[in-house]
Structure 1
Amino acid sequence: MASIVVAEDDSDIASLLSTVLSNAGHAVRTAHSGQDALDMIAEAGPDLVIVDHHMPGLSGLDVAGRLRGAEATAGIPVIMLSAAAPAAARGLCDVTISKPVRPRHVLEAADALLAARLDGVPAAGTNHLVDVDRLLAVSDYLTRPAHAEALDAFAERLAELTGAPMAAITLMLNDSVVVAGSHGMPRWVREAGGVPAEWSPDTVVVAEDVPVLIGDSAVDGEYATSPLFSVSGVRSYASVPLNSTEGHVVGTLCVLDEKPGTCTEDTVQILHSQRAQALVLLARAG
């Protein structure tokens, strides 16, 4: 049995997680704000912390940062729940999980982190990027007859819906992001047909099967020096995974802007709503 603190301001989600984790034999305490969570953690010294990102007062990112910054709590595994985890969360949290929450996913992640902590080794996350079956699925899309005009038109519509001037449908190989359709993207990206994997946050989206939201790359810092951001002047970015019918993460829908603050969690939700149509277009032959 492990001691777990769940910080979640939505009482229904907090109750659901508490029930699932308790039924699995864990002792669970719930907090409804970031500060309450920190007080509870200081008192209980839990084996694991699960935090929602958006909470009253201190955010989940704030909580994770304070835990990592204190010697007594730096080693506690942290899971973040968010509709679009900020890029900085990956440097502070062991696992990020997308909302809507799938209780089984949370339980599996919790058990893996707890087992790893007991064994004294870092928990290995699932990296979908190099999965052979995933790469075969991507290859299948890439070998279909081209229909770039339809994909470009879809990207233009995506830009209109989100209010971002740049949008793209991508397919992700293990070492490169292939732009299947785009609107407003820099000419050098269009001419190259994509960018190296290490230049783009899409690598994280596909590798971890989570959305990524960057409100301002100059503040976030992680991708500020990447050519996609530094050369093109991109400041705001949002991307969601495209999951094939077989469950493979084959690519992304993403939007970008040179202005900070354009991309928000509302942007991420719009991208989520367009995923099914994007996959239909990618799968269409000729």
Structure 2
Amino acid sequence: MASIVVAEDDTDIAALLATVLSNAGHTVHTAPNGAEALEAITETNPDLIILDHHMPGMSGLDVAERLRSTDTTANTPVIMLSAAAPAAARGLVDVTISKPVRPKHLVEAADELLAARKTGEHPAHDAATQLVDVERLLAVSDFLTRPAHAATLDRFAEELTRITGVPMAAITLVLNDSVVVAGSYGLPKWVQEAGGVPVEWSPDTIVVAEDVPVLISDSRADEEYASSPLFSISGVRSYASVPLNSTEGHVVGTLCVMDDKPGTCTEDTVQTLHSQRAPALGLLSRVG
């Protein structure tokens, strides 16, 4: 059906992805690093490119930047796979998929991008559409109407700062127009008093829209968020956030940590946040 180049340095994962996509009818070429991926792309002129972010030598982000600056690949659809795709990837790739990758999710994303390429249309992945999804908002509302004890959630957030080593933490619920802080520790006073921030100020919009973690190592180096009040006024430099999913799969909120120092949040931070999603959801579901 289509020609796909997969760049993945883990041979077992590369074999799995190749098998899944081949079984879906596609011709798959694998490459163990960014440099060889670029060679394969030049040779095969693929219909779709799938990039792991962390590879030896050139990262997936480096490869994506090269692809977008080359006429022949500037419009080729690209999927990035990562445990925590950098925020900068959003301007370079069409879809980010969180690791560990769900094979069905990958095939569906690939098929959607390939179909859109044939018709010349761009698939709808915009944040606004996801934020106003009625079923998602009903799921968020269900959590908001529970008589949760803020003190319990605040203690959880405090513990989160201890285990991540990042000084500010929050459990949020995301509506269509605001990010509501359900529990927090160390947040700027004005955020605590307001009870949250507008969605357009927060990277959590990406988390909700794409159901992926977000990692910002230094907000001042990120054009999208450098001027956002959450960062510019509060001085937040480093940020990590992961999605909180309802039992039905809707992204109802996030678990996030932040620091006024750059580089504090890392992929290890994201992995720690992942490990705390279940207990956070448990507290949101049953405290009261």
Q: Considering the TM-score relative to the shorter chain, is it more than 0.5?
A: yes
Partner of 2:75: 75
- Unaligned runs of at least 5 residues, structure 1: none
Task: For residues 165-193 of structure 1, give each alpha carbon's deviation from its aligned partner in whole angstroms, at most 9, with x where no partner exists.
Answer: 10000000011000000000000000000
Quote the sequence identity (%).
Answer: 76
Alignment of 1:1-286 (within 5 A): 1-125=1-125, 127-286=129-288
- Residue 285 of structure 1 deviates from its aligned partner by 4.1
Cα pair 1:128 1:209 within 8 Å, conserved: no
Report runs of 4+ in structure 1 exceeding 2 Å deviation: 125-128
> What's the RMSD between the two structures over aligned residues?
0.9
Task: For residues 187-226 of structure 1, give each alpha carbon's deviation from its aligned partner in whole angstroms, at most 9, with x where no partner exists.
Answer: 0000000000000000110111100000111112220100
* Separation in structure 2 between the aligned mates of residue 240 and residue 67 of structure 1, nearest angstrom: 28
Cα pair 2:125 2:209 within 8 Å, conserved: no
* TM norm structure 2: 0.98
Q: Secondary structure at the match of 1:88?
A: helix
Q: Secondary structure at the match of 1:57?
A: coil
Q: Secondary structure at the match of 2:252?
A: strand
* Separation in structure 2 between the aligned mates of residue 17 and residue 136 of structure 1, nearest angstrom: 35
Cα pair 2:131 2:209 within 8 Å, conserved: yes
* Separation in structure 1 between the aligned mates of residue 47 and residue 61 of structure 2, nearest angstrom: 19
Q: Secondary structure at the match of 1:14?
A: helix
Letter in 1 for 2:91: G
* Separation in structure 1 between the aligned mates of residue 234 and residue 287 of structure 2, nearest angstrom: 33
> Number of residue pairs matched?
286
Q: Secondary structure at the match of 1:234?
A: coil
Task: For residues 16-71 of structure 1, give each alpha carbon's deviation from its aligned partner in whole angstroms, at most 9, with x where no partner exists.
Answer: 11011111111110000001101111111100000000001110011111101111
* Separation in structure 2 between the aligned mates of residue 137 and residue 20 of structure 1, nearest angstrom: 32
Task: For residues 73-130 of structure 1, give each alpha carbon's deviation from its aligned partner in whole angstroms, at most 9, with x where no partner exists.
Answer: 1010000000001011111000000000111111110011001101111122275322
Letter in 1 for 2:71: E
* Separation in structure 2 between the aligned mates of residue 48 and residue 68 of structure 1, nearest angstrom: 13
Cα pair 1:128 1:249 within 8 Å, conserved: no
Q: Which stretch of structure 1 is more off in the superposition, 182-191 or 133-142?
A: 133-142
